[in-house]
Amino acid sequence: MNTPHRWGDQYSELGHGPIPIEPYISPNYYQREKEKIFHKEWLCVGRNEEIPNAGDYKAKRIEAADTSVIVIRGKDGNVGAFHNMCAHRGNTVVTETGHETLGNSRAAILTCRFHGWVYGADGSLISVPQEDRFYECFDKSENGLTAIHVGEWEGFIFVNFSESPAQGLEDFLGEYGQHFAGYPFDKMPYQFTYYTELDCNWKIAHDAFAEAYHVDTIHAGSFPNVFSNGLERVKLMGPHRTSAVHLSMNGKPTPIAGLANELATGSLVAQRGESMLPPTINPDRAQDFSFELSVLFPNTLIHVSEGIWFTHQFWPLAYDRTLWEGRYYVAEPETNAQRWALEHAMTLQRNAWLEDTATMEDTHRAMKSGAKQHQNLQDDEILIRHGAVVVDQYVNA
Ligand code: FES
Ligand SMILES: [Fe+2]
């Protein structure tokens, strides 16, 4: 029975009261989030498909952990993670061209462009030009790249900047890891990405994507009457959370959208053929299931559906600035018709994401005014409530 307070009743430990705004607008709270969360917990920094071959690497700036990380695949196939900093005079070893930089070294080495120090994919310092002019106290074996803990789950690459992480990656993921295990993420590697920097706190961006209450209003243009505005099968799993979004049965796509849904290999609306979902997701195989909406703590949302999956990541740049990255994955189109349908899906998704991001800066600006001290959440905003409670637990631990 869908009672109006079903999630609040099920997870009554989260309380029902208003949620304070201070954590969204406080530079001091953000400092504690950096220390207690982004410097300490597992963070998803990429996918295996981004660095498939030996010598492929990715550098990613993580401002919230005050560093840039390099993940590189060695000749043994293993992925190593290192701070992007040379042991000579501190230059970045991978020259960055933006928030993230992808590259390949056939020899699986990294060379600092300042004075040519060369590192192996295992981080070891291999070669130093004019090595004999350094002094006896200089030991190459002690001057490799600084390693970072790295782990992999279902093709996602994670790093942890803590010297000794409180938990291994598997324990950190816990039930969330099991819930999504077996979904064929790697079978749908064709990707498009949208990203932008927003003048808002990272949690405002998280919250805007963690409910479906806004669908009828904000997405009246892109997805009119397409999705239900509530959540199904909410499950809170340690710091992580998931739920399902279903289709609204009154949805009437435009003729073009209807055609694109028919032709697309993956769509949030069209459901065809045998399910590719693991038994934990849409377990009763409801025909009106659209997608699983989940939050992998702290800053990654993973959404999966039939033939398509997508992620949002929110990287804090400052207490009032956030890098948002939206990535959408489908199978490579095989026909022109499928390619057209994919272009249609991309455009629709871009419009929807523009609608989603449109409120964030306004929300942050209004929050800073101090006119209100709290937000009021309804029952279908339970993922936001859980997020606020979890972040607060970490910050005050
Ligand atoms: S700073 Fe890297 S070689 Fe000099
Ligand atoms: Fe949305």
User: What does the pLDDT profile of the chain (397 residues) look like in tens digits?
Assistant: 578 999 999 999 999 999 999 999 999 999 999 999 999 999 999 999 999 999 999 999 999 999 999 999 999 999 999 999 999 999 999 999 999 999 999 999 999 999 999 999 999 999 999 999 999 999 999 999 999 999 999 999 999 999 999 999 999 999 999 999 999 999 998 888 999 999 999 999 999 999 999 998 999 888 887 888 899 999 999 999 999 999 887 767 788 888 887 887 666 766 667 899 999 999 999 888 999 999 999 999 999 999 899 999 999 999 999 999 999 999 888 999 989 998 988 888 899 999 999 999 999 999 999 999 999 999 999 999 999 999 999 999 9
Neighbouring C-beta atoms of residue 356, cutoff 10 Å: 19
Q: What is the pLDDT of residue 118?
A: 98
Ligand 1 atom 3: the closest Cα is on which residue?
115
| Alpha helices (H) in the chain, listed in sequence order | 6-10, 22-25, 27-33, 169-180, 202-209, 215-218, 255-263, 336-358, 360-368, 382-395
For the Cβ of 86 lying below 6 angstroms from any atom of ligand 1, the answer is yes
C-alpha of residue 130 to centroid of ligand 1, in Å: 12
Residues 343/346/347/350 CA torsion (nearest 10 deg): -160
Q: In residues, how long is the chain?
A: 397
Counting ligand 1 atoms within 8 A of each CB, the residue from 93, 94, 112, 146 with the most, and so the one to mutate, is 112
Atom of ligand 1 at shortest distance to CA of 93?
Answer: 2
**CA-based angle 180:274:339, to the nearest 5?**
90
Backbone angles phi, psi at 370, to 5 degrees: 80, 5
Q: What is the pLDDT of residue 1?
A: 56
Backbone angles phi, psi at 158, to 5 degrees: -120, 150
Answer yes or no: pTM beyond 0.85: yes
- How far is the CA of 179 from the CAs of 106, 238, 247, in angstroms? 37, 13, 22
Task: Tell me the ligand closest to 352's alpha carbon.
Answer: 2
For the Cβ of 112 lying below 6 angstroms from any atom of ligand 1, the answer is yes
Ligand 1 atom 4: the closest Cα is on which residue?
115
C-alpha of residue 75 to centroid of ligand 1, in Å: 24
C-alpha of residue 117 to centroid of ligand 2, in Å: 47
Q: What is the pLDDT of residue 207?
A: 98
Atom of ligand 1 at shortest distance to CA of 86?
Answer: 2
C-alpha of residue 92 to centroid of ligand 1, in Å: 8
